[in-house]
Structure 1
């Protein structure tokens, strides 16, 4: 286990992260009307690495310090831009008037007079100790701008475009019929399936638009997983989300009674962001392995998806950034019958090779935006969904 000093660091980091959640989470009252429903779209939920169209990829346009021109990059070279909208989906922008692009390029440029929001790098920083939390930039030049709810959402733009297939080079999830056979069988047979999610603030849905109560009202990834599986298999899928902001794998060990209470068929275990303040990969692995073992003592047929977390902002000094790959590799050693790995770490690493953290961040430091939550759900549901093309062969 961690040393006392290391344990204190982890607890302090967890407290900071949990305060993020407490500060921005409201309490609904009986008089409040229900939140508007998100419009489910099979196209939005199709894995981004499949097919010739990217749906709603988020970017944040940055103005050049020299010429003032604003630009952003997407993941794949563009064959044709199909739609450019604000993150709320309320405004559709016009090619030529609001944005320019060249076939074969990954870059989109904003001409003078564009209505699309653009920011300067300086606007994404704050003076030291000027925010509720100290988010010191690694270069020592002030702090990373923290978005408590939808501040980054308001600065980002969503791009739908056609591209050539087969361009994604990072690892992607592969459906294995032997990995989670009991859950898949129940889904395919349209039997009721119970899923428990145990994780940190990412798994509570933090910084998804639905979590913050604003358009387009997309829920966080756990509900997206439930909805996608229910739409795909046309059976009842029940979700119990036990996630709490600021928590880590040490806390997960205290939650076994709650995890087994709904008699889940599938348990999604999703930690790492808060552990990364200092917990070793060996301790992270041991805690996760113990969660699996203790649940199986009570529910021998339970199956598990272990989530290797997204990457936090590499410019944030609080994170031990190399821990994410170490944690992913540790989780990979736990794979076996009934235990699968959802590798968001490798996908986020590739994102950050092609783009900037601000393109898909929800809060500037350690949460995904709507696009990122969809990526989470796409990865997880791919482990439970046979590839239709291969099934038809």
Structure 2
């Protein structure tokens, strides 16, 4: 049965072909536009044959000469190694990112999740109780700039907005209110310093904790946060929330930053492993965005096609990758 892959992001370089994440079905419509929302009034719709070519047999897309699609090679960071983004006024991929819809036989998205899956998982007991009763549930999003929504075009397309949407699809009678207490540029030291003030008094039904991107940042004197301190800081946040009540907790692993950025330590997976291990130890859910991100890279997605700021902030498709990790977490448990 065919499924529709929607708003898959690409930054196309010159006339070089990039693989589509899934094999497209020949004869089915392909839509390519400048913005992720298909009905956005400011979008530019590109024309197959004139602006881009799809190779249905190989499953690739590429620009054609003279295309309206901006050439990603014009980004000032293109081709630079160990770059310092602060030396450039504009280094974003926003102007170069396109979004593609196509039909595929591969299964994509958050399909197959049922209320029974949530109830069997036991990871979201308090939240599910609220959703079943029809009471308003409070979801507190806590973390760094990615959890603040960094580079998503609107809240509904952030990973936490998509998780909310997935839950409401399963419980249409329910209501979920999001309180975002994330701060851009923050690492786990900052999270520890304000958890008692910014999270505990809200008595949330669900808290997601998303750190690691800024903690892994590399500097001459070492990473921002050592792995030992990273674990200690996460433990403090988890313990503090648990002592205050019975809030459900989800831990979120970070995506991979641009490997050519001078502050990329190459150790993001180690920070993600700390999060995975704490999830198992505490018996709380882990939204393993990092694992999903690695699968995308292995399938041929480029960092530029996933990171809108070209450094460490996911685009709309990147946030979808984050939210995609929500389903296997529940089914696995």
TM range (shorter): 0.7 to 0.9
The more displaced of 268-277 and 226-235 is: 226-235
The offset of 1:309, in angstroms, is 0.6
The offset of 1:146, in angstroms, is 8.6
Q: 1:145 to 1:116 in 2, by over 3 A?
A: farther
Q: Given the alignment of the two structures, is residue 52 of structure 1 paired with residue 3 of structure 2, yes or no?
A: yes
Secondary structure (helix, strand or coil) at the match of 1:348 reads helix
Question: For residues 70-96 of structure 1, what are the alpha-carbon distances to aligned partners after superposition, in whole Å with 9 as ceiling and x for unaligned?
Answer: 433321222245211112642222222
Pairwise mapping of residues 72-221 of structure 1 onto structure 2 (< 5 A)? Answer: 72-80=18-26, 82-87=30-35, 89=38, 90-120=43-73, 123-125=75-77, 137-138=81-82, 143=84, 151-165=92-106, 177-210=121-154, 219-221=157-159
Q: 1:92 to 1:367 in 2, by over 3 A?
A: same
Match of 2:113 in 1: none
2:163 to 225, 233, 245: 225
Secondary structure (helix, strand or coil) at the match of 2:154 reads helix
The offset of 1:53, in angstroms, is 2.2
Q: Given the alignment of the two structures, is residue 62 of structure 1 paired with residue 13 of structure 2, yes or no?
A: yes
CA distance in 2, matches of 1:145, 1:99: 33
Match of 2:187 in 1: 248
Query: TM-score scaled to structure 1, two decimals?
Result: 0.70
Pairwise mapping of residues 291-310 of structure 1 onto structure 2 (< 5 A)? Answer: 291-299=237-245, 301-310=246-255
Structure 2: any 5+ residue segments left out of the alignment? 110-116, 218-222
CA distance in 2, matches of 1:377, 1:147: 31
Query: TM-score scaled to structure 2, two decimals?
Result: 0.81
Question: For residues 52-83 of structure 1, what are the alpha-carbon distances to aligned partners after superposition, in whole Å with 9 as ceiling and x for unaligned?
Answer: 321110001101xxxxx243332122224521
State whether residues 275 and 286 of structure 2, in contact with CA within 8 Å, keep that contact through their aligned partners in structure 1. yes
Q: Given the alignment of the two structures, is residue 238 of structure 1 paired with residue 177 of structure 2, yes or no?
A: yes
The offset of 1:166, in angstroms, is 5.7
State whether residues 91 and 310 of structure 2, in contact with CA within 8 Å, keep that contact through their aligned partners in structure 1. no
Q: 1:145 to 1:165 in 2, by over 3 A?
A: farther
1:329 to 242, 259, 273: 273
Structure 1: any 5+ residue segments left out of the alignment? 1-49, 64-68, 128-135, 169-173, 212-217, 388-393
CA distance in 1, matches of 2:103, 2:138: 37
State whether residues 51 and 165 of structure 1, in contact with CA within 8 Å, keep that contact through their aligned partners in structure 2. yes
CA distance in 1, matches of 2:314, 2:91: 11
State whether residues 32 and 100 of structure 2, in contact with CA within 8 Å, keep that contact through their aligned partners in structure 1. yes
CA distance in 2, matches of 1:232, 1:318: 41
